């Protein structure tokens, strides 16, 4: 297997593990199953006001400061968390790329963290993947 194929396989395995970890994080603590006392861990029809803030996330090898934009539902919580890794084929876009979607998801009761990624012109693969791992 050539190096490029090995890196693609590693990327796909890491992405699959991150998705599984994200789904596991949505499970309700205590493992309540069915019955009249069970309540939904997440109600997609609920509506929340949201607050938006930004924090420094990490610095690239070339010194650029990456930021994370946090869309926080207002309420008692706890809320499931979604890490938004923007599109752009690792070449363009930033944490604002999916803002309308991030706001809508947060308004439904999910804390959304949209992060900047090191872009391909700055650093080759796996720099963006390392940023994503740091975000988790």
pLDDT tens digits for range 65-122:
888 899 999 998 889 998 888 765 555 667 767 888 899 999 999 999 998 888 777 7
The tens digit of pLDDT for each residue in 32-50 reads 444 433 345 677 788 999 9
Q: How many domains does the chain fold into?
A: 1
Is there a domain that residue 34 lies in? Answer: no
The CATH number of whichever domain residue 94 belongs to comes to 3.40.50.1820
User: Is residue 95 domain-resident?
Assistant: yes
Whether 58 maps to a domain, the answer reads yes
Q: Is residue 24 part of a domain?
A: no
- Do 97 and 86 form a contact (C-beta atoms < 8 A)? yes
Q: Is residue 63 part of a domain?
A: yes
71 part of a folded domain: yes
Beta bridge partners of 85: 115
Burial profile 74-100: b = 16 or more Cβ within 10 angstroms, e = fewer: eeeeebbebbbbbeeebeeeebebbbe
Report the pLDDT value the prediction gives residue 35, as an integer from 0 to 100: 45
Residue 6 lies in a domain: no
CA–CA separation, 20 vs 84, rounded Å?
15
Distance CA 53, CA 106 (A): 13
d(CA 66, CA 57): 5
Residue 1 lies in a domain: no
pLDDT at residue 37, rounded to an integer: 38
Determine if the peptide bond prior to 3 is cis (ω within 30°).
no
Q: Which pLDDT belongs to residue 103?
A: 92
What is the pTM for the complete model shown? 0.64
The answer to whether 48 and 73 have CB atoms below 8 angstroms apart is: yes
Range of 54's domain? 47-131
């Amino acid at each position: 297997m050539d190096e490029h194929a090995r890196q693609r396989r590693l990327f796909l395995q890491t992405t699959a593990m991150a998705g599984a970890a994200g789904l596991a994080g949505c499970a309700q603590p205590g493992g309540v199953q069915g019955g009249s006392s069970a309540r939904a861990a997440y109600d997609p029809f609920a509506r929340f006001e949201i607050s938006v803030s930004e924090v420094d996330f990490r610095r690239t090898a070339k010194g650029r400061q990456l930021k994370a934009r946090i869309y926080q539902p207002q309420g008692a919580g706890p809320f499931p968390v979604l890490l938004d890794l923007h599109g752009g084929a690792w070449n363009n876009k930033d944490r604002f790329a999916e803002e309308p979607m991030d706001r809508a998801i947060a308004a439904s009761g999910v804390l959304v963290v949209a992060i900047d990624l090191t872009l391909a012109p700055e650093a080759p693969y796996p720099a963006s993947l390392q940023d994503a791992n740091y975000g988790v």
